Amino acid sequence: MKAKNCLIFGGSGQIGRNLIRKLAKNNYKITVVTRNLHQKGLLIKTQANAGYIDVIESSIFDEKKIRKLFENTDICINLIGILFEKKRGNTFKNIHSIFPSLLAKLCKEYNCEQFIHLSALGINQAEDSEYAKSKLEGEIKIFKNFSKTTILRPSVVYSVDDNFTTNFMTLLNMLPIFPLYYSGKTKFSPIHCSDLTDVILEIIKKNIQSNIIECVGPEIISLKEILEKLLILIDKKRILIPLPISIAKISASLFQLFPKPLLTRDQLNLLKYDNVRSGKYKTNSEIGVPALRLFDEEVKKYSYMWRENGQFSTDRYRIKEN
């Protein structure tokens, strides 16, 4: 049986690298598009054995070059997304709406078997977020252009390579007082990166075309509870203080001026809304791929990097007294 060709956009991130490893183990041929081959090429190539993976340098705005890649593509996977806007075309509209719409058109034109697109949970309700509006707009355009599409809406995705738990643990390590936006009541259903890529692999293997699938972990945890769990894991005591919304808006306005913002006004708007299953769409459990990894147990595996003695603070290096 001929190996199927997967074309991946966004393959250098935590989800992309994890997925590449699983696809290669299951004998899929992989082409990954990156905008910077010099910076990302080696990182991507080392995720699979030679012969299974090709890495192509291209801007996502180079339609001519991208079009050519579809000539040998069976399955297209788009994992590209941004949390804040930059100049030079990196806007929510370009990344979350215009580009995915182009991919869907090309999937139809070249008769691809599947298009799998990574969106986000909770975008229907967050009407005051430009991020959410662009994600929703992109979904509408994708379905209009290509019917053989599965859109995944994950809650927050975490792993040792994330920008979620790792950023929080870094900040909790440095700051004696930590602000709680909206009193830390926002609920999440964190899904481990490996659980999410299990879902993607199952969709590919079984050719599942289920419109929208909400991808959630086995637990529902508030933001305050997440921070409290992280503090225990890194063995730190910090004061968590609810921040009035007026002050939160000012701090977000200042933070978004940084080259890599800690928080933007748009992200602050998103935090108003719970990030859990809506009940309107199928979940990963309902397609036979339940997320099994528990937040505490998984984060514990790498949280030692933020403890005072690093790896020597783990049970493995503790000297037992007689």
For residue 18, the domain's CATH number is 3.40.50.720
Task: With respect to residue 225, please indicate whether it lies within any of the assigned structural domains.
Answer: no
pLDDT of residue 295: 98
pLDDT of residue 230: 98
Task: With respect to residue 264, please indicate whether it lies within any of the assigned structural domains.
Answer: no
Starting at the edge strand found earlier in the chain, the sheet holding 53-57 runs: 53-57, 29-34, 5-9, 75-78, 114-118, 149-154, 211-215, 282-283
pLDDT of residue 130: 96
Task: With respect to residue 108, please indicate whether it lies within any of the assigned structural domains.
Answer: yes
Task: With respect to residue 321, please indicate whether it lies within any of the assigned structural domains.
Answer: no
pLDDT of residue 315: 67
Please spell the DSSP secondary structure of 251-296, one letter per residue.
HHHHHTTSSS-S--HHHHHHTTS-BS--SSSEETGGGT------HH
Task: With respect to residue 316, please indicate whether it lies within any of the assigned structural domains.
Answer: no
Closest to 159 in 3D by CA, of 192, 197, 188, 201: 192
Task: With respect to residue 184, please indicate whether it lies within any of the assigned structural domains.
Answer: no
Task: With respect to residue 89, please indicate whether it lies within any of the assigned structural domains.
Answer: yes
Its pTM stands at 0.94
CA distances from 48 to 28, 114, 213 (A): 10, 22, 27
pLDDT of residue 27: 94
Task: With respect to residue 57, please indicate whether it lies within any of the assigned structural domains.
Answer: yes
Residue 18 is part of which domain span? 5-157+190-217+276-292
pLDDT tens for the chain, 322 residues long, are 678 999 999 999 999 999 999 999 999 999 999 988 888 888 898 898 878 999 999 999 999 999 999 999 999 999 999 999 987 778 999 999 999 999 999 999 999 999 999 999 999 999 999 999 999 999 999 999 999 999 999 999 999 999 999 999 999 999 999 999 999 999 999 999 999 999 999 999 999 887 899 999 999 999 999 999 999 999 999 999 999 999 999 989 988 888 888 889 999 999 999 999 999 999 999 999 999 999 999 999 999 999 988 877 666 655 555 5
Q: Count up the domains in the chain and report the number.
A: 1
pLDDT of residue 45: 87
